[in-house]
């Protein structure tokens, strides 16, 4: 591997390390060793560890909210159903790792608050498009989001057929 990696490569490696080992793995030396380069490449792209952490959190927000929303909007299926399938069907190791990090770091906590707000706003908008009044959409979006967080943080695997049945029922409940 070349000695000079792109910032993007470092961020991707950081996300992998975060999902696998938690936020304490987000340090230049262990990441450089994992990639097989010197840490000089790290400091070429990031002024310090704080700048790297900020870039990792930004990328997490992009992939855990913006990318999913873009994909849902491009999907020909009903948006709320598509969102549920994508959110509950995804590997959620990174979600758990970032939320754990937020318990120790104000920047991670701010990123989690921002993504929670973005996701809630999007779910509310989808429910309003389905004809729910704003107050009802807001309440059901919160319930739906709490359900997702409980699922994400539990780390419990659910067989595909069972998950589909649960998501169909969840969709029915929030749409009733």
The least confident of 29-38, 56-65, 143-152 is: 29-38
Asked if residues 63 and 42 have their Cβ atoms less than 8 Å apart, the reply is: no
> Residue length, the chain?
176
Comparing CA positions, the residue from 35, 5, 2, 42 lying closest to residue 17 is 35
Query: Does residue 153 belong to any structural domain of this protein?
Result: yes
| Number of domains into which the chain is organized | 1
Both tokens assigned to 19: 């999902």
pTM of the shown model? 0.90
The runs of H, that is alpha helices, within the chain are 7-21, 28-35, 40-45, 49-61, 67-74, 79-89, 93-102, 106-129, 134-154, 160-175
Cα–Cα distance, 74 to 146 (Å, whole number): 25
The least confident of 13-22, 86-95, 116-125 is: 86-95
CATH (domain of 151) = 1.10.357.10
Cα–Cα distance, 139 to 145 (Å, whole number): 10
Q: How many C-beta atoms lie closer than 10 Å to residue 45's C-beta?
A: 17
Query: Does residue 1 belong to any structural domain of this protein?
Result: no
Does residue 1 surpass a pLDDT of 50? Answer: no
Query: 108-154: per-residue pLDDT in tens?
Result: 999 999 999 999 999 999 999 999 999 999 999 999 999 999 999 99
What is the per-residue pLDDT for 4?
65
Farthest-apart Cα atoms in the chain, separation: 57
Q: Which domain holds residue 44?
A: 7-175
Compute the average pLDDT of residues 85-106: 94
Query: Does residue 2 belong to any structural domain of this protein?
Result: no
């Amino acid at each position: 591997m070349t000695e000079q990696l792109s910032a993007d490569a470092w961020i991707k490696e950081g996300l992998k390390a975060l999902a696998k080992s938690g936020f304490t793995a987000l340090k230049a030396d262990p990441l450089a060793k994992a990639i097989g380069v010197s840490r000089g490449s790290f400091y070429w792209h990031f002024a310090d560890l704080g700048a790297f952490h900020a870039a990792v959190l930004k990328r997490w927000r992009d992939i855990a909210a913006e990318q999913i929303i873009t994909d849902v909007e491009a999907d020909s299926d009903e948006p709320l159903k598509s969102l549920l399938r994508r959110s509950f069907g995804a590997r959620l190791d990174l979600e758990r790792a970032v939320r754990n990090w937020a318990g120790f770091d104000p920047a991670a906590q701010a990123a989690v608050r921002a993504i929670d707000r973005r996701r809630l706003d999007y779910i509310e908008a989808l429910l309003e498009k389905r004809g729910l009044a704003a107050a009802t959409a807001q309440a059901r979006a919160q319930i739906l989001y709490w359900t997702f967080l409980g699922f994400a943080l539990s780390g419990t695997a659910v067989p595909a057929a069972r998950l589909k049945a649960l998501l169909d029922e969840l969709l029915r409940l929030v749409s009733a």
